[in-house]
Amino acid sequence: MAKNFNDLFDAWSETYDQTVGGTDVEYKEVFACYEQILDEVAKRSKGYIVEFGVGTGNLTEKFIKNGFEIYGIEPSEGMRNRAKEKIPNVTIVEGDFLTFPIPEKKPDTIASTYAFHHLTDEEKRKAVALYSEILNESGKIVFADTVFINEAAKQAIIEEALRNNYNRLAVDLQTEYYTTIPVLKKIFEENGFQVTFNQMNTFVWLMDAEKRRENE
Ligand SMILES: C[S@@+](CC[C@H](N)C(=O)[O-])C[C@H]1O[C@@H](n2cnc3c(N)ncnc32)[C@H](O)[C@@H]1O
């Protein structure tokens, strides 16, 4: 099982929607264009969707508005409760990226926003291998998360955060498992996906990974 961040997210659940709206100056740029990022993930998703780390249900709500059937997975009870208040009739179960009740139907899309960095790179590799098995043959993964083009870019952003006295952001970037595009590209390709990366703001990249067919 991945590292447990539940205390942090239970506490944050009450004010999370204000943070994504830009009230926290340290995280303003991380959440810049938040609605557009979620819209783009929703637009690129298809069919029956499994969503990891649903949080307060903002992406889930967009999926529902677009008419999709959703199976949500979220480890924090506080976050699950906020999401259930917002979207009462949606299935949201307790679980994380690696340990979760497998849905009865094979998903067409596995989606997630602002959450995959909670796994170490080794755990990310295990998760993508697992998703390759449980997805439909022509299934896809659509993630948006903070990623860096390389380690030097990551260090430069951490130094800038420290210069701005954004100490919570700097600690977050140093202690969670933010990775680089080459690492993620390798993980997806080794597991039979063809992946594209599109930058959405200074921090967040959209990853769109399609399963390659046998003869490709
Ligand atoms: C920054 S919030 C993002 C919430 C929502 N997806 C959004 O875009 O607003 C990160 C979410 O990931 C969840 N999370 C933390 N560790 C996780 C893990 N190992 N597996 C799945 N979700 C996790 C947290 O509980 C939290 O709800």
Cβ atoms of 1 and 72 closer than 8 Å? no
Q: pLDDT value at position 214?
A: 67
C-beta 79 within 6 A of ligand 1: yes
Please give the helix or strand (H or E) that residue 106 lies within, else none. none
Q: Residue holding tokens 């204000």?
A: 18
Residue 51: pLDDT band by 50, 70, 90 thresholds?
very high
Q: Which ligand 1 atom sits closest to the C-alpha of 79?
A: 27
Question: Model confidence over 13-33: pLDDT tens digits?
Answer: 999 999 999 999 999 999 999
Residue 3's pLDDT is what? 81
CB neighbour list of residue 93: distance below 8 Å, 6 or more residues apart: 71, 72, 73, 74, 100, 101
Helix 58-65 vs helix 34-44: angle between axes, to the nearest 10 degrees?
Answer: 50
User: Atom 26 of ligand 1 has which residue's CA nearest to it?
Assistant: 55
pTM of the model: 0.97
Q: In the chain, which residue ranges form alpha helices assigned H by DSSP?
A: 6-12, 16-20, 34-44, 58-65, 77-86, 121-134, 151-163, 167-175, 181-190
Calpha distance 55→59 (Å, rounded): 9
* Mutate-to-test residue for ligand 1 from 31, 45, 50, 54, highest number of ligand atoms within 8 A of CB: 54
Mean pLDDT of 116-130: 98
Q: Residue 165 C-alpha to ligand 1 middle, in angstroms?
A: 25
- CB neighbour list of residue 204: distance below 8 Å, 6 or more residues apart: 30, 33, 37, 114, 144, 145, 146, 147
**Residue 97 alpha carbon to ligand 1 centre in Å:** 9
- What local confidence, expressed as pLDDT, does residue 196 receive? 98
| C-alpha 151 – ligand 1 centre gap (Å) | 23
DSSP per-residue letters across 164-188: TT-HHHHHHHHHS---BHHHHHHHH
| Average pLDDT of span 104-129 | 97
Architecture of the 6-148+179-211 domain: 3-Layer(aba) Sandwich (3.40)
213 pLDDT higher than 90: no
**pLDDT value at position 2?**
74
Segments making up each domain of the chain, as ranges:
6-148+179-211
Whole-number mean pLDDT of the chain?
A: 96
For range 121-129, the mean pLDDT: 98
- Substitution candidate for ligand 1 out of 3, 41, 118 with most atoms within 8 A of CB: 118
Over the stretch 166-205, which tens digit does the pLDDT of each residue have? 999 999 999 999 999 999 999 999 999 999 999 999 999 9
Q: What pLDDT score was predicted for residue 82?
A: 97
Cα 96 to Cα 101: distance, rounded to the nearest angstrom: 9
Positive or negative torsion for Cα 94, 105, 133, 38: negative
Residue 148 is given by DSSP the state B
* Ligand 1 atom at minimum distance from 144 CA: 8
